[in-house]
Amino acid sequence: MTDRPPPYRPPPYRPPPHRPAPSALISRRRLLALSAAAGVVAAVTGGRGRRAAAAGTPLMRPIHSTGLMMPAVGLGTWITFNVGNDPEAIAGCTAVMKAFFEAGGRMIDSSPMYGSAQMVVGRGLDALGRPQAVYAADKVWISSGDDGPDQIAASRALWGVPQFDLMQVHNLRGWEAHLETLFAMKAAGRLTHVGITTSEGRRHDTFEQVMASQPLDTIQITYNILDRAVEDRILPLARERGQAVIVNRPFRQGGLTRRLAREPLPGWAAEIGAGSWAQALLKFILSHPDITCAIPATTRVDHVRENLDAARGPLPDAALRRRMIADVEAI
């Protein structure tokens, strides 16, 4: 039998003794632009958007470090926005973004790893008149810490934004050097939030260590009705540290919704106002109190509206969550 080191136990969190410098805080003008769902509707949508607003704004959750309220469903761009220079496909992605804003959405998440996705997001924002209320979330994904600033600048140019609202170290690649860069940018007022990401359960031990040792604003993890490992340690640690939680792969890259599409919706779906399996799966995620925002990706306008609608109406309680897990695991 080989000796194994004892499991990592994160130290207790102690709040920093000083508030961030004023330059590190989000400006009042930017906060108002991001927090007013009506501003998104007015800037982007017209009459149909006003009808969406009248139906009620989506569930909002805070990014704790700044108090910024965020709609609980965002928009991912992995695979779906990697369409190259195809004009028709880019127009389709722009239509998805337009519907997303119309429904009250705000956070769009991308990465240099996602092929042409950043460029496609930038073109979509241009076509939509540069809506001020977009919350621009991206990632640094390069081995060399010295090359991080150039990659971030290139990403910002592709988006066409003056600065990012959130910059994350993608899958912890080069995290030590990149976090140093990102915290310096935040201190200089050139970035609002700093985070780290992982997906599909990768490197959770290291992820916990970084969460416990660094003053992160956000973390991004995989969480869905079947992938719940983060409930044991990562979500409690995020709560303790005051870190907002962004969820990737809520549908297992579509595999989960395709698998469930063959099955009728159980009777409990009506109890939470879920008209589809996708809405039920998102409502399950959002019913966890430590989740801030889920970022499903899609190529379809009807699906992006359906996703945002999942952030409206009732959410399952603890007893219904257990029933949902049992039913989905049995399929």
Residue 91: predicted pLDDT: 98
Nearest to 250 by CA among 302, 208, 287: 287
* Distance in angstroms (rounded) separating the CA atoms of residues 116 and 111: 9
- Confidence at residue 2, expressed as pLDDT on a 0 to 100 scale: 39
Cα–Cα distance, 211 to 236 (Å, whole number): 11
Say which CATH number the domain at 150 has.
3.20.20.100
Nearest residue to 307 via CA among 286, 326, 292, 291: 286
User: How far, in Å, CA of 311 to CA of 6, rounded?
Assistant: 41
CA distance 167 to 140: 7
Residue 162 lies in a domain: yes
The total of structural domains in the chain comes to: 1
Determine the pLDDT at residue 105: 96
Question: For 324-331, which contacts have Cβ atoms below 8 Å and span 24 or more sequence positions?
Answer: 324/225, 324/268, 324/280, 324/284, 325/225, 325/228, 327/266, 327/268, 328/225, 328/226, 328/260, 329/226, 331/259, 331/260, 331/263
How big is the CA angle at 138 (ends 109 and 148), to the nearest 5 degrees?
160
Q: Which residue has the tokens 């092929």?
A: 115
- Let me know if residue 1 belongs to a domain: no
| Torsion 105-60-197-17 (CA) sign | positive
2 part of a folded domain:
no
Long-range contacts of 34-37 (CB under 8 A, 24+ apart): 34/68, 34/106, 34/133, 34/135, 34/165, 35/68, 35/69, 36/133, 37/71, 37/104, 37/106, 37/133
Domain that holds residue 117: 22-330
Evaluate whether residue 13 is within a structural domain: no
Tokens of 168: 């994350």
Per-residue confidence (pLDDT) for residue 221, from 0 to 100: 98
160 inside domain: yes
Domain annotation covers residue 106? yes
Crossing angle for the helix pair 37-44 and 47-54, to the nearest 10 degrees: 160
Half-sphere exposure of 290 (CA within 13 A, CB side): 20
CA 320 – CA 331 distance, rounded (Å): 17
296 contacts 254 by C-beta, under 8 angstroms: no
pTM of the model: 0.85
d(CA 220, CA 168): 8
Q: What is the pLDDT along the chain (331 residues), one digit of tens a residue?
A: 333 334 333 334 333 333 333 333 444 445 445 544 333 333 333 333 333 333 467 899 999 999 999 999 999 999 999 999 999 999 999 999 999 999 999 999 999 999 999 999 999 999 999 998 899 999 999 999 999 999 999 999 999 999 999 999 999 999 999 999 999 999 999 999 999 999 988 889 999 999 999 999 999 999 999 999 999 999 999 999 999 999 999 999 899 999 999 999 999 999 999 999 999 999 999 999 999 999 999 999 999 999 999 999 999 999 999 999 999 999 9
Q: What are the beta bridge partners of residue 293? A: 246
Q: Hey, what amino acid is at 58?
A: P
* Residue 74 DSSP one-character state: -
Q: Looking at the domain assignment, is residue 14 inside a domain?
A: no
* Locus of tokens 């709609």: 71
CB atoms within 10 A of CB 311: 26
Q: Establish if 190 belongs to a structural domain.
A: yes
